[in-house]
Amino acid sequence: MTDYTNAPELKASILGKTTDYAQQYDASLLYPIPRKLNRDQISVDEADLPFLGEDTWTGYELSWLNAKGKPQVAVATFIFPCQSSHIVESKSFKLYLNSFNQTRFTDQKTVLDTLTKDLSAVTHSEVEVVLYKANDHDCIAFTSMPGQCIDDLDIEVEHYSPIENMLKQKSSDIVSETLHSHLLKSNCLITSQPDWATIIIEYTGVAVCHESLLRYLISFRSHNEFHEQCVERIYCELQRTFAFEKLAVYARYTRRGGLDINPYRSNEHNKTPYAIRTNRQ
């Protein structure tokens, strides 16, 4: 369990609490959580971030009424820069999107502009929103994962919460490789509901022991933290341990309540270079 679980900013959130569904559009439903809570614990200075990146959310259950009252549906992507001061608490995001269901909008552009304005305001950043029609079948296509899967390694596992010095170097040889695992599981910081993910790690630097990396990723199985926070913790631990020349960490989490969250952190790219969707999403 993280040591900021009882922070006032989290206690005031609606996660784990009974709530009513709004019948009309309501931007006040969005609840921001400071990224600083997690970053203080992993010694990240928000004024000098050690990474670039973004969080891409996919919304599969967006609907509203047109000017004549006819329902409209869309799939949405929401891209939040990691430099934003806040993230959106996920349950509040779902309730906010549900408030569109019985609200009339002039056209799709008005919906797009409304989403962009509200999400940018609550996170103090410039959020990118894209809407896809229901028949745009290739908008988020299923894809194979890049690089080598390390899940078949025959390892003994003892720890289900991260501890120090789990990551080991294989050799001093400088290599460039891309690895992925489908075995990342963490838990919601507030409700302890399981969060399942596929994670991709791309690096250039000293060779990492694959067995130790897999043990480390599995150690998050009983760890409570939000998606974005887990990815930043993994990124920082890898970089502090190995001082890679290049490093990128990208997690594709399965959806809950019609939303999936996909954080990307890198010391090279600000925008996610992958176009990936797993078969669990």
- Active-site positions? 188, 195
**DSSP notation for 55-80:** EEEEEEEEEEE-TTS-EEEEEEEEEE
Looking at residue 220, its amino acid is F
Q: Which of 37, 39, 19, 36 shows the shortest CA–CA distance to 93? A: 19
Q: Is 228 part of any known ligand binding site?
A: yes
Distance CA 53, CA 102 (A): 35
Q: Extract the tokens encoding 68.
A: 């004549």
CB atoms closer than 10 angstroms to residue 160: 12
Please say whether the beta carbons of 90 and 259 come within 8 A: yes
Q: Is 211 part of any known ligand binding site?
A: no
Q: Is 240 part of any known ligand binding site?
A: no
Q: Is 221 part of any known ligand binding site?
A: no
Q: Is 89 part of any known ligand binding site?
A: yes
Q: Is 257 part of any known ligand binding site?
A: yes
Q: Is 271 part of any known ligand binding site?
A: no
CB atoms closer than 10 angstroms to residue 254: 15
The annotation places the binding site for substrate at 88-90, 227-228
The annotation places the binding site at 88-91, 227-228, 256-257
The annotation places the binding site for NADPH at 90-91, 256-257
